[in-house]
Each structure stands twice: as C-alpha cells, then as structure tokens.
Chains A and B, each alone.
Chain A
Amino acid sequence: MSDLFYSNISELQAGLNNKTFTAVDLMQSVIERTEAVESEVNAFISRDIEDALKQAEASDKRRLAGASLGALDGIPVGIKDIMAVKGQPLRCASKMLESFVAPYDATCIEHLKASGAVIWGRLNMDEFAMGSSTENSAFSQTANPWNLDCIPGGSSGGSAASVAAGQTIVSIGTDTGGSIRQPAALCGVVGMKPTYGLASRYGLVAFASSLDQVGPFARTVKDAAILLESLVGYDPKDSTSLNRPKENYSKALEQPLRKLKLGVPSEFFGDGVDPEVKAAVEKAIDWYRSEGHTIVEISLPHSELCVPVYYIIATAEASSNLARFDGVRYSHRSSDAGNINELFNKSRGEGFGEEVKRRIILGTYVLSSGYYDAYYLRAQKVRSLIRNDFDQAFEQVDAILTPTTPTPAFKKGEKSDDPLSMYLSDIYTISVNLAGLPALSLPVGMTQEQLPIGMQIIGKAFGEADILSVAHAFESNHEFKDLRPNLDNSKQ
C-alpha cells in the first residue's frame, strides 16, 4: 500500500471497490507522503488532516452502503489557495487574507464534494495568482520536485508540485495567462485550462475576470479528464458560465484517435525557445506525423502582441478586482491608521506583496483618465485580432501544438528582480486565455539535467475531448507519465 499516493484514479477505484484498501488508507498514505517530503517541496500553505480523514471516512461509509458517488469518490483532490472552501482558510498566499476563513463554497468545490472527492489542503501559489514561479507567496517558497533549487512555475506552483511529488492524487489550479499549463510543464504533469466559461468562476478569487479559469492537474491524461468532468458545468451564480450539455471526457479517451490535422505555428519555434525544449516538442510532433496525422505549418501573426495585450487587460481588471481588499470588512487592517484614507493606504501597502502592488499600480495607470483608449481599449481591439488568428488557424486544423514554455524550470531568484523577463515566460500560454480557448500541457521530454518539458495542445472552443484524446494517444505510447522525481533519494 506504500505507493498508493502515486497511483492513478482508475487503479485506486479498483482497489477501493475490491476492498484492497479504504479511502482512509489512501488518505493516510497521501498524508504520510506529504509529511515526508513537504519540508523540501513546500507545496502547501495549510492542510486540515483531521478534516480530510473525516471526509475519507464518509466516503468509505458511502461505498459500504453501495452509494458510491463515482470515479472521484474517496480520491484526495488538492485545492489551490484561491478557491473558497467553506470553513477553511482562503489566503491567496497573501498577508492580506492571512486570517480569512471562507464562509461559503466555490461552485467547483460544491461539484467536487458532490462527486465524493476528499478536499485536501490549501496549495501554495503566487500571491493572488500573480506570477510565474510561486516565489510571490507570502508564506513559503515551493520547490520544483525535480530540482529543489528550481521554481515549480506559477502561479499554481503548489498544485503542480504536490501532484508531481505524490502529495495528492490530483489537484485543481487556476489559469489566467498560463498558471496551470506553465507549472504543469515545469513539474512534468498534465495541466489543463478548459474553454472560458466551461467551469464556474464563483468562489475563485478573481485576478482577471475575463481570463480566469479553473482546471485540473493530474499525473495522467485520464485522471485530468475525470477531474475535469466533475469541475465543469453551468452555474447561475456566474454570468460568464456557459450552459452546455455535459460531456464524458474520460470515455472519449477509449475511442481510437482519428487522423487529425495538427497545426504548428512558426511563431512559437523562434529564437526565444530553449534548444532542448524545441527538440523535445519537435520530436513529439514527429511522433504524431509518424502515426499518420497531418502536420500543418500555420501562422498566428499577432502572437508577439499577446504579452502587452495580456498585461494591460489583466492588470486593469486586477486593479479593480483587488480593490475590495481594503482593511474594512475582512482583510488585513493596519494597526497604524488614524483616518480612513490611511486605513486604505497602509492596509494595502502592508498587506500586498511587491508583484501585486506592481500590477495594481500598472492596471490603475492604464485605466486612469486620459489613457483608457490608448491602453485598455486598444488592447481589447488587438485581443480581437489575436482571436481572429486562432479562428483562421482552426479553419485548417483540429488542434495546435506548441511548446508550453520557452525554457524548462529556472532557478529560484533568477528572474525575481526583472518583472518583464518573468512576464515573457508566459509568452506561449497567454494567447489561449485571450482567445478563451482550451489547452493542456503534456509531458513530452526531459532535459539533460532531468527537468521536465511540456508540450501545449490548444483546441477549438469546447474541444476539450479532442485535445485530451490527442494527449492521451502520445501518453499511451511514451513513458513520461511513469517518471518520478528523486525526492526519496534526496531524503535518504
């Protein structure tokens, strides 16, 4: 039972149904693993062991009574510290919310609970999801399980690292500009951002409302599909959520993959890409070609404008979304405020970290009087052009293949003082958010230094089943899903 924590959902369900082990055994295994490696990985901001065991016990009782709720019943799911779970801390890795406890459940959490999932822990992240390295957490610095000196990526670094390190079976994160796919790539796991509007944002602490989406992290494509099925669904509490029939993504994987046209955009393979990353992704593309799929060279001509468009729209929305953290009702209040303006200025000055302040200031500036048309409005127009690029590409192809990140995981501290170069590490992922499309990152290689390499598979709107199938085909013919970081050795 010792490696239950590294099993996949299908194996675990089989064992639970055969009574080989119980959900409590599984949870215990995950807890023990977490305690063993957490001092190195630091994936969690907090965890409620007692609560998790109680949920597992409830799952065992259901199963015993023949009332199991399905594939996720009894499976530990780690939660990024940005989703509200009733009665649990909701800190967003910020001092601002250090003592905040959520009095309600996010809709995605309600869905998970209804699937019988064991809600497990509060996973580390960049403060308010702003960052690409999880170094912007006010609480701890998560390490990349493959190399503890490297960052795990971000902002959902804790979600990616915990899955890679066996501290949970699967986890959920959020993706505004790559915050699921980039850490998934850097930690060697599967991470997926669904089509905008597919999963409810209610209870997801907003960073950039028109870009944020919740999505799964898993060690296998099938686990990601199972988790995604539970997460998505129309929510009347989120006016941007879409009312669509539910799809059975995991079942779709059982079908043999039909011959597809796969687009490769030249703009994503230029000078900025690390040679090892480029080689691994091209090798994966070659594999698809060898399997009889048609590879089509395409162009997404406005790709290089994605970073400025993204940082204008995202920071503008964030400057307004984060105004509610003001020290009045529930967030950090400065003890040093003599009047109401000081209360605002000092509470926010003390409560927010450097990157969050930087983005709020930038977002405030681009919306301020006289600059709206030049920045925000113009960015929204260029966003239309970026969307058009994808629309045209998808007239020719079924899915698009790109590197997820320009480089593998970089060293901690390497880019901390250079925000612009940090922003550029999202260069391949953010266009997908701007266009509202689904995309996932799949492990397709390792560098010489044993750092994972991810390939991004971008789909048409609501093409989740397609891109999962494309990923599943590669995964089934390669060994990357079975690679594990060397954490145990480093301990011994």
Chain B
Amino acid sequence: MKYEVVIGLEIHVQLKTKTKMFSAAPYNYGAEPNTLTDPVVLGLPGTLPVLNYTAIEKCAELGLMLGCKIADVCKWDRKNYFYPDSPKNYQLTQNEQPLCVGGSIEIEMPGASRNIEGAHRWVELNRIHLEEDPGKLTHTAFDSLIDFNRAGVPLAEIVTEPNLYSSSEAVAFLNALRNLIIFSGISDCDMEKGQMRCDANVSLRPKGLETLGTRTEMKNLNSISNVKSAIEYEMKRQAEILDSGDKVIQETRRWDAAKNISLSLRSKEEAHDYRYFPDPDLMPVVMDKARIEVLNQMLPERPFDRQRRYQKDYDLPYTITSVLCANHQLSDFFEETLGLYNAPKAIANYLVNDLLRELASNSEQGASALSLSETKLKPQSIAELVEVVESGLISKQIAKEVFVEMFASGALPKSIIESKGLSQSNDSSEIEALCLEAIANNPKAVGQFKDGNIKAINALKGPVMKATQGKANPAILDELLQKLIESGE
C-alpha cells in the first residue's frame, strides 16, 4: 500500500540567558562538572525557585518572531517524574497555559538543484512553552555520572502541529527554525552543544485518508541528519508493520545514531502519569501588553524577509542570497559593510566567495571551520578593499592577494598595498617600453591579433604583467598594446 507520513516535531531550545531559569547560578557550555550549581540548582531541601524575567521575555520574543499569541498570564506547573538528572524529581513547566500559543514559520523546500530556489510554505505551530533543563547523565560501562551544570537552564519547547509530510520537510523546517532563532539572538542553537534538541512524532496513513495513524515518538535526535534518518527508518519500519497487517504500537523509541536504528523505550512507557499541578512556589506573571507591543515593534528581520529584500533591493541572485541569509553573522557583516561603502554585489561576492573559502580552509587544517567573529576581518576591511578595486588602485587579481593577507593579519587593505608596494603601476613610459619589447618578441601573437583574434593579446600581456609583478593596470595595458600594434603597422 502507498502511505503518507505525518510528522510533528517537538524542539527544545536553550535560551541564551546568563543565568538559570529559577536561580542566579550562571550557565555556560563546557564548564567543569558541577561548577555551576547553587542550593536551588541542586534542589536542596528548603530552596525555592525565583523566575528569571529575562527568560520569559526571550521566550515571548521567540513567540512574536513566530507569530504566536502571547498568553495574558505566565503560569507554572509541576511535572512529576523520577529521573536522576532531575534535582527535584519534578520539572517546572507550563502544561495548562503555554506562554506562546499557535504561530507558524516559513520554510523553504529543497529546489530542483542547489542553485534553484525551492518552494516556500508555512508550517503551523501548536505552542511554545518554557521549562527547565535537567542535568546531564554520562554513562560508563558500569555506572552513570551526573553533572548538574545544565540543570535549570531555561528551555523553550516548540511544538508543531502534525503537518510535516516528509523527512525533507522536517529538515527544511528545522533549518528554517534554527536560522530564525539564531537571527533573533534568542539561542545559538548549536545541536552539538545540546542548545537545540528534537523529538519527532511519526505516523503513517494510507494515502488519501484524513485520520491520523498510530504514532511513535522518536527521542534523542541530536542532529538534523539524525532527524532525517530516524524519520526515514521509522517510515520504513511502520510501513512493514502495516503491510504485514499488524498494528503500530504507540511508544517512545530512542534513535541510536551509531547503529542507525531505533529501539523501543518500554521503561518510559509504564508511568506516563505526571501528576501535573500548579506550582505553589511561583506566582503568576501578568504579561505587560505594552511591553509585548514594544518587543513586537523591535523584532529583528526574519531571514526569509531579509533574503527577499536582498533580491529586490540589491538585485542579488539566489545563489548569493541563499548563502548570505543562511548565516546570520555573514548577513549582518554584509549589512555593516554596505553601510560603509555602497556596492552590494561586489561586497556580497567577497563575502560569499573569498571569505567563506578562507573560513573553510581553516577547517581543512583539522580544526573546525572558523566563525566570522573569530577572524580579524572587519566590515571596514571589505569596504576599503572594494573601494580600492573600484577606484583602480589595484586589480581584482591583486585584490585576492590583499584579501588573503588581511584575513591573516587583520591589517586594512590600503596599508597592505602600501607596505607591499602592490598599487597598480601607471608609469606609462616604463610600461610602453615593456610592451614594445613584448610585441617584438611575439610576432606570432601580433599576427593573430591583427587577423582578428582579440584574445591573442593576452600572450603579450603576460610578459608585461610578469615584469611588473602584476602591478600594471590591465585596462590601461590593453589599450596601450592595441595602440602600439596599430601604430606599428
């Protein structure tokens, strides 16, 4: 039988606050185990939670970015379950009233090829609520170790409606969501650092049928490619079950990325009785409507809006905008450079080609690719480089050399050009002598040029360029050679 897959995703995103959701203990990824704890984080007897207002505001901002309705009141419930990484053995979460309701996000499906823009569609969201992250378990061969640094970090849980219909749609959704959140500055969404995590609910139904089939919940999907593989594995597994006439069991399954299989988590099934009740330690927060309106007015530009603006206002091609707008730092860098020197196409080219190549070449040396903020490059560097090329001070050829140098040293183009003597030579008497020498040495090329082969002139330019170490201005050189050949007739 032909099946249609229906996918709903639950995405946990760590909000980028300096301190935890319910205490002033700081958080930063990669700290030594159990160095970011305090009495509240460890759930010591007698301790009480106090809300971090910044986390509420960041979550509301995320909701506004995604077009959600912000709840009138922010309330908290206890979700009771025992797990060794959970210091209180209940999680403070928002069961009854999520902070953000509804909403949707624009996604782009893959195009026919990498260079072609794919179709856009909107994916509906169900809710976004706030909760606290548990600690982190590390399993050894014979026991498990607990680090509570992560415990209490504010998490936004984004729940979609079940309206994704292929694994590639799920991937497109996650890419769009991740990019939008990074653009908003609410989280860095680094999946390797656990800043973004995903669970997927997957079910199949016979094509054409409206009712949903029995779903399974896939846990532990800690990369976008894992999400894709896990969904595809589950589609195949469920199709086989249905084809054989059996029924899919509603269960939680854990994705094993190493073995590329999912396994049933029966242990988690036995007690889904979370005994939710309103937390008596926290008071409701009435959301300030005026403040929400201000936040709404100040929202950063969404990535796809920015992409459309670049295409329309700067006439940049999809191949460029799709790269620029998939990288928040790069896109902001572009805007800043553009503010210094108004040449969008040239600037975009340097960023998308030269800069990304230099950043990537760092990763070839075994390290991970540099991010823009780790380089010494400033918007001023690129603005000045485009300016000196356009004014004819250096050639595009030389500019590439200058780029590599300024990437390495952080020096500005003009000082590099000066210290290395790279400015184009316009000393016409010296060049004229060299041109005449080239004409004399290459009668064959001269002949070909005269016969109409314009490209033959390149054979004459080569030796002049070599003699001037590339500093001859190619445009002037072209003109001069033509004039000399014509006058030599």
Q: Do A and B interact directly, with beta carbons closer than 8 Å?
A: yes
CA distance A201 to B281 in the complex (A): 10
A208 to chain B: which residues have CB within 8 Å?
A: 280
B89: contacting residue among A82, A204, A326, CB under 8 A: A326
B50: contacting residue among A102, A239, A317, A323, CB under 8 A: A239
Is A237 close to B, CB under 8 A?
A: yes
CA distance A203 to B46 in the complex (A): 4
Asked if B89 and A368 make an inter-chain contact with CB atoms under 8 angstroms apart, the answer reads no
Q: Mark A126-138, 1 if CB is under 8 A from B, else 0.
A: 0000000000000
Asked if A84 and B45 make an inter-chain contact with CB atoms under 8 angstroms apart, the answer reads yes
What is the predominant secondary structure among interface residues of chain B facing chain A?
A: loop
Asked if B88 and A317 make an inter-chain contact with CB atoms under 8 angstroms apart, the answer reads no
Q: Mark A284-326, 1 if CB is under 8 A from B, else 0.
A: 0000000000000000000000000000000011011001111
CA distance A102 to B47 in the complex (A): 11
Is A249 close to B, CB under 8 A?
A: no
CA distance A154 to B488 in the complex (A): 118
Asked if B283 and A240 make an inter-chain contact with CB atoms under 8 angstroms apart, the answer reads yes
Asked if B277 and A326 make an inter-chain contact with CB atoms under 8 angstroms apart, the answer reads no
A204 to chain B: which residues have CB within 8 Å?
A: 46
Asked if A238 and B48 make an inter-chain contact with CB atoms under 8 angstroms apart, the answer reads yes
CA distance A435 to B393 in the complex (A): 83
Asked if B282 and A239 make an inter-chain contact with CB atoms under 8 angstroms apart, the answer reads yes
**Among B76-84, B163-171, B438-446, the stretch in contact with A:** B76-84
Asked if B281 and A209 make an inter-chain contact with CB atoms under 8 angstroms apart, the answer reads yes
A47 to chain B, nearest CB (A): 20
B51 to chain A: which residues have CB within 8 Å?
A: 239
CA distance A320 to B146 in the complex (A): 22
Is B467 close to A, CB under 8 A?
A: no
B280 to chain A: which residues have CB within 8 Å?
A: 208-210, 240, 317
CA distance A97 to B146 in the complex (A): 20
B49 to chain A: which residues have CB within 8 Å?
A: 239
CA distance A319 to B277 in the complex (A): 11
Asked if A329 and B87 make an inter-chain contact with CB atoms under 8 angstroms apart, the answer reads yes
A328: contacting residue among B45, B84, B90, B276, CB under 8 A: B84
Is B39 close to A, CB under 8 A?
A: yes
Asked if B78 and A320 make an inter-chain contact with CB atoms under 8 angstroms apart, the answer reads yes
Is A410 close to B, CB under 8 A?
A: no
A367: contacting residue among B46, B50, B275, CB under 8 A: B275
A100 to chain B: which residues have CB within 8 Å?
A: 45
B interface residues, tally (CB under 8 Å) = 29
Asked if B281 and A240 make an inter-chain contact with CB atoms under 8 angstroms apart, the answer reads yes
A202 to chain B: which residues have CB within 8 Å?
A: 46-48
Is A340 close to B, CB under 8 A?
A: yes
A323: contacting residue among B44, B48, B89, B273, CB under 8 A: B89
Chain B residue nearest to A236 (CB atoms) is: B50
Q: Mark B447-476, 1 if CB is under 8 A from A, else 0.
A: 000000000000000000000000000000
A320: contacting residue among B44, B87, B90, B283, CB under 8 A: B90
B429 to chain A, nearest CB (A): 81
CA distance A327 to B144 in the complex (A): 14
B46: contacting residue among A206, A236, A341, A343, CB under 8 A: A206
A353-373, CB < 8 A from B: 364, 367-369, 372
B48 to chain A: which residues have CB within 8 Å?
A: 201-202, 206, 237-240
Evaluate whether A320 and B80 lie within 8 angstroms (CB atoms) in the complex, with A92-B45, A106-B46 already known: yes
Is A227 close to B, CB under 8 A?
A: no
A33-89, CB < 8 A from B: 82-84
A275 to chain B: which residues have CB within 8 Å?
A: none
Is B43 close to A, CB under 8 A?
A: yes
B89 to chain A: which residues have CB within 8 Å?
A: 323-324, 326
Is B42 close to A, CB under 8 A?
A: yes
A84 to chain B: which residues have CB within 8 Å?
A: 44-46
Q: Mark B48-90, 1 if CB is under 8 A from A, else 0.
A: 1111000000000000000000000000001010101001111
A240 to chain B: which residues have CB within 8 Å?
A: 48, 280-281, 283
A238 to chain B: which residues have CB within 8 Å?
A: 48, 50
A-side interface size class: 35 or more
Is A90 close to B, CB under 8 A?
A: yes
A365 to chain B, nearest CB (A): 10
Residue among B39, B80, B90, B280 having the largest count of chain A Cβ atoms under 10 Å: B280
Asked if B43 and A324 make an inter-chain contact with CB atoms under 8 angstroms apart, the answer reads yes
CA distance A316 to B277 in the complex (A): 9
CA distance A103 to B50 in the complex (A): 19
A216-249, CB < 8 A from B: 236-240
A103 to chain B: which residues have CB within 8 Å?
A: 39, 44
B146-188, CB < 8 A from A: 146
B84: contacting residue among A106, A210, A340, A367, CB under 8 A: A340
A368 to chain B: which residues have CB within 8 Å?
A: 273, 275
B88 to chain A: which residues have CB within 8 Å?
A: 323-324
Asked if A364 and B84 make an inter-chain contact with CB atoms under 8 angstroms apart, the answer reads no
B273 to chain A: which residues have CB within 8 Å?
A: 368-369
Chain A residue nearest to B40 (CB atoms) is: A237
A209 to chain B: which residues have CB within 8 Å?
A: 280-281
Chain B residue nearest to A327 (CB atoms) is: B84
Asked if B46 and A205 make an inter-chain contact with CB atoms under 8 angstroms apart, the answer reads yes
Asked if A323 and B277 make an inter-chain contact with CB atoms under 8 angstroms apart, the answer reads no
Residue among A83, A209, A320 having the largest count of chain B Cβ atoms under 10 Å: A320
CA distance A330 to B80 in the complex (A): 19
CA distance A412 to B51 in the complex (A): 45
Evaluate whether A323 and B90 lie within 8 angstroms (CB atoms) in the complex, with A106-B46, A316-B277, A367-B275 already known: yes
Considering the complex of A and B, which 8 residue pairs feature the smallest CB-CB distances, nearest first? A323-B89, A367-B275, A209-B280, A210-B280, A205-B45, A203-B46, A369-B273, A324-B43
Given contacts A201-B48, A323-B82, 11 further A-B contacts (CB under 8 A): A92-B45, A202-B46, A206-B281, A208-B280, A320-B78, A324-B87, A325-B45, A329-B43, A329-B87, A340-B144, A368-B273
Interface residues of A (CB under 8 A from B): 82-84, 90, 92, 97, 100, 102-104, 106, 201-206, 208-210, 236-240, 316-317, 319-320, 323-326, 328-330, 340-341, 343-344, 364, 367-369, 372, 376
| A-B residue pairs in contact (CB < 8 Å), sample of 16 | A90-B45, A204-B46, A206-B46, A238-B50, A239-B51, A239-B281, A316-B277, A324-B87, A325-B45, A326-B89, A328-B84, A367-B80, A367-B275, A367-B276, A369-B273, A372-B275
